[in-house]
């Protein structure tokens, strides 16, 4: 290695340009060879094949994910939780709320305010 460093310091600019040109040709030929052989331009190693999971493995992963989500959501089985029925106001409660709102608006208009 020391011998190579001393040689690089003793070469002329013309020799350096020629060496760069040879290196570019070598790289171009290497790229063309890789293209012909179908190997990647990197280190010349064969490309890794994409790993494929079996259907059983995918099913196990999905089942585990479902179980984790059920645990997070607080469900123990695969059954869906039933929704609580919507709360409805009785007619009397609606009438009382309407009367209260009318009274508030009447008071606000009397004071000259239009916004509550």
In-domain check, residue 73 = no
In-domain check, residue 13 = yes
In-domain check, residue 25 = yes
In-domain check, residue 52 = no
What integer pLDDT is reported at residue 38 of this predicted model?
83
Q: Which domain holds residue 26?
A: 2-37
The Cα–Cα gap between 35 and 25 comes to 15
Angle at 49 between CA 48 and CA 54, to 5 degrees: 140
In-domain check, residue 68 = no
In-domain check, residue 54 = no
Instruction: Indicate whether this model's pTM tops 0.75.
Output: no
The encoded tokens of residue 111 equal 């004071």
Q: What is the tally of structural domains in the chain? A: 1
Mean per-residue pLDDT, 69-86? 74
Give pLDDT tens digits for 9-33. Answer: 778 888 889 999 999 999 999 989 9
Give pLDDT tens digits for 45-58. Answer: 566 788 899 999 99
The Cα–Cα gap between 67 and 78 comes to 9
């Amino acid at each position: 290695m020391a011998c190579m460093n001393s040689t690089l310091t003793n070469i002329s600019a013309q020799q350096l340009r020629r060496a760069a040109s040879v290196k570019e040709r070598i790289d171009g030929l290497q790229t063309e060879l890789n293209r012909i052989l179908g190997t990647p331009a990197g280190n010349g190693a064969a490309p890794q094949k994409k790993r494929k999971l079996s259907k059983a493995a995918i099913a196990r992963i999905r089942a585990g994910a479902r179980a984790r989500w059920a645990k997070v959501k607080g469900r123990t089985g695969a059954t869906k939780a039933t929704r609580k029925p919507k709360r409805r106001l009785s007619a009397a409660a609606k009438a009382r709320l309407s009367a209260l709102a009318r009274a508030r608006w009447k008071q606000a208009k009397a004071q000259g305010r239009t916004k509550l």
